[in-house]
Amino acid sequence: MSTNTSFNNLFSDEDIFNHPEQVSLTNRFEISEDLNILKQDVHNLEEKFDKFKEDTEKRFERIENALFATTKQREQIVTLLQGLSDKVAPPSPPPPPPSNVAPTLP
């Protein structure tokens, strides 16, 4: 990941040891050990994040699929209900003509 690359660039051994100050061998070893531990921690966190991201994407995909299936079922139910109401409801008589319209001539 780019995070790890950036981290390695920021905290490379050469950068730490090229300071003008004198660093004892013991300090160099301790710094190297700490740096290696930090790099490993970053790597572990990246792996955990990747797993979390993958799991989250799978969960969202399952939710999307469930919503899609539910929508399809709803559409089918609405279609069935419309068909039933057409069969059950008697045909309605035509509405009476408005009162402001003159009656039709024979």
Domain ranges of the chain: 2-87
State the pLDDT confidence band at 102, using cuts at 50, 70 and 90.
low
pLDDT of residue 1: 47
State the pLDDT confidence band at 93, using cuts at 50, 70 and 90.
confident
Report the pLDDT averaged over residues 91-99. 70
**Cβ(42)–Cβ(4) below 8 Å:** yes
- Among 25-29, 72-76, 96-100, 101-105, top mean pLDDT goes to 72-76
Dihedral over alpha carbons 54, 60, 66, 69 (to 10 degrees): -100
The separation between CA 96 and the C-alpha centre of its own chain, rounded to angstroms, equals 56
pLDDT of residue 48: 98
Which of 19, 58, 46, 13 has its CA nearest to residue 31?
Answer: 13
pLDDT of residue 103: 61
**4-50 pLDDT, tens per residue?**
555 555 555 555 556 555 667 778 888 899 999 999 999 999 999 99
Q: Which helix (H) or strand (E) holds 9?
A: helix 2-10
Phi-psi region of 94 (alpha: psi -120 to 50; beta: other; left: phi over 0): beta
